[in-house]
Amino acid sequence: MHFRRSFLSEFPTLQDDFEEWAGVLHLQISEFLAFTQAAIEAGSFGVVSRCFGIANAALIEGNDSLRNAIYVSYLEHLDFRTEGGKQAKQLMPTELMQGRNDILDYNEQLLGRKWPTDDR
């Protein structure tokens, strides 16, 4: 799975943001996070659903580096604590939600407390 190609085919206006971080996957995924979070806060749930579809495919089909970036730079930082966030969270595919829960559980074990965006 080629995340960058999939994402930019869905959202071509973000080409410059991805080019800025060419070759730095975690920072490209951070741009994807910011885009998704902005859509959540704007109530653009169609966009959020498309983002979650891309992230889900990356988690399932991606190589180890891409999966790690999705966990560390995307799933653990998604913030569902707002009303829009609560609605968006319901759009997450099962595998993506499991990945989020897994990384939040891992962070809690490391920190000895909940991760700041853990809304469970």
Residues 85-100 have a mean pLDDT of 96
User: Could you tell me the pTM of the whole model?
Assistant: 0.89
Q: What Cα–Cα distance (Å) separates residue 9 from each residue in 4, 12, 50?
A: 8, 6, 11
Q: State the pLDDT confidence band at 66, using cuts at 50, 70 and 90.
A: very high
DSSP line for 27-86: HHHHHHHHHHHHHHHHT-HHHHHHHHHHHHHHHHHS-HHHHHHHIIIIITT----SHHHH
pLDDT at 71: 96
pLDDT > 90? residue 24: no
Residues 22-40 have a mean pLDDT of 92
Q: State the pLDDT confidence band at 57, using cuts at 50, 70 and 90.
A: very high
Q: What are phi and psi of 100, to 5 degrees?
A: -65, -45
Residue 79 CB: number of other CB atoms within 10 A? 17
Residues 77-83 have a mean pLDDT of 94
Nearest-angstrom CA–CA distance, 112 and 69: 23
Nearest-angstrom CA–CA distance, 108 and 40: 24
- Determine whether 58 is exposed, middle or buried from the number of CB atoms within 10 Å of its CB (0-12, 13-18, 19+): buried
